[in-house]
Structure 1
């Protein structure tokens, strides 16, 4: 297995005056294989990590969406805008996971309007006291409308342009590093992502199905060609879509999910939030069900 070089030293974001039982957010430097440059990824250690030296913790690898790309340095904070790291660090929820949160390279996406026009003022900040108002999923104006499954005869690519597939060796290197240097429960390694990260979740799970105990792609469909290895490994899947999502439409999900079942997969869940749009992830990650479901699965 190809790996990358990661530095063991990590820089802590939390005040040194806090006790060692408090949650911690670290920046871990690594050398990106594809760019041959030093970048950082966030590593969240849950409350009680230092106070329980004999405990092994579940790991959640989180892949963000297209709008949170960056240079892995002063732009890394964009990865906290959405997802489990926002819930754990910004909203101060006691999530019992070690969370790995990398940042996807910009590649050719720098001129996309919602990336080009973003501001670092939108990076959420952890408050010394209390929490900021959580993001609420918007309710789109178009009506809810069940649609038939789409055919994939003309869609040959299993990935999106400049997606997480380009840094798969970086991601596996991060996972290797965390498992080697932190107290991880290696039977409970989970993978989840939203939008672009949802597509990345399917791709990484297809290539490394034995590494994960369960996956939860959100508003990102999986191409049928990615399903054989996931089905063979019987990797539990819970996929989410927004019924009013005009970006990643629900009808695109069925072909891959039906392929999983046709291949004999026994643990496939698909939930459509019919009243929600593309930002369905806000509701999903703000709830309890996804975390409880992940924790209910363990590799043999």
Structure 2
């Protein structure tokens, strides 16, 4: 009799555990339509909802705004899938990494870059858009081929350099602010944990948006995108936590250009500046950064104290 009771209790416990597991909702990828303030046309952006968002009706989730690189520009409609190629959204949706963030992932307009003879834009096809598999995950793309010996880097004076690349994320600043407002109003976001990160062009855009609106974010993580020293004053005043990343073998955004801005931050009294150089990596340093856990753990350790 005792054995029967024990078996019955065990079976009920297993059934309860299975039912609890079944009630946890899976992640979702939604497309949100908006009217672009820049182009005055209708475009879409992605909103990623993490595992458990739909089933837990009370939890407020950290919010991340991710800005992609130059090669993922597009029309915000048919070409929107290209923003799935790299970064946190690729990790969460394609590689099924369990990231506990609501992720906003917009697409930067072409602004004529598709007519400049840039191979990685002109020659891309929709076949290159990654697809989420029902079972398992696809094989990761090969790392960029990089050449040259490992070397140190000497800082260069960036004073005479333009603070921004032309026709980048600064052009859609108002759109990005509208997206943040919309998601905060229509989704259960933890507005004390709003983060900003981006790679390459998106790294530069991260510096720009942080400089213009430092009070909106709990922490920022620009990846292979340097920040101009002229952008640093508001970030330092807000004491906005920064973790920047560069590749030692990056020939597109060379590490020497990072130091002037980061040193300016520290000279202005910023107490929380991190800089990590992956000496063995090229421009695709972002693959290692976003596929790991450290960047997400670090972001979640910061919140806006208001």
Q: TM-score range with shorter-chain normalisation?
A: over 0.9
CA RMSD of aligned residues (A): 1.2
Q: TM-score, normalised by structure 1?
A: 0.92
1:276 to 2:276 alignment: no
Give matches, 1:77-116, under 5 Å. 77-111=81-115, 112-116=118-122
1:52 to 2:69 alignment: no
Distance 2:72 2:293 in 1: 24
Q: What is the match of residue 72 of structure 1? A: 76
Deviation at 1:138, TM superposition (A): 3.2
Determine which of 271, 279, 296 is the counterpart of 1:266. Answer: 271
Count matched residues. Answer: 282
Distance 2:145 2:190 in 1: 38
Q: TM-score, normalised by structure 2?
A: 0.90
Deviation at 1:158, TM superposition (A): 1.3
Q: What is the match of residue 180 of structure 1? A: 185
1:42 to 2:46 alignment: yes
CA contact (8 A) 1:24 1:45 kept: yes
Which blocks of at least 5 consecutive residues in structure 2 are unaligned?
1-21
1:197 to 2:202 alignment: yes
Which blocks of at least 5 consecutive residues in structure 1 are unaligned?
1-17
Aligned to 2:193, the other structure's residue is in SS state strand
Distance 2:36 2:94 in 1: 27
Q: What is the match of residue 210 of structure 1? A: 215
CA contact (8 A) 2:61 2:188 kept: yes
Distance 1:46 1:153 in 2: 42
Give matches, 1:149-188, under 5 Å. 149-155=155-161, 157-188=162-193
Q: 1:110 to 1:269 in 2, by over 3 A?
A: same
Deviation at 1:180, TM superposition (A): 0.7
Distance 1:169 1:138 in 2: 34
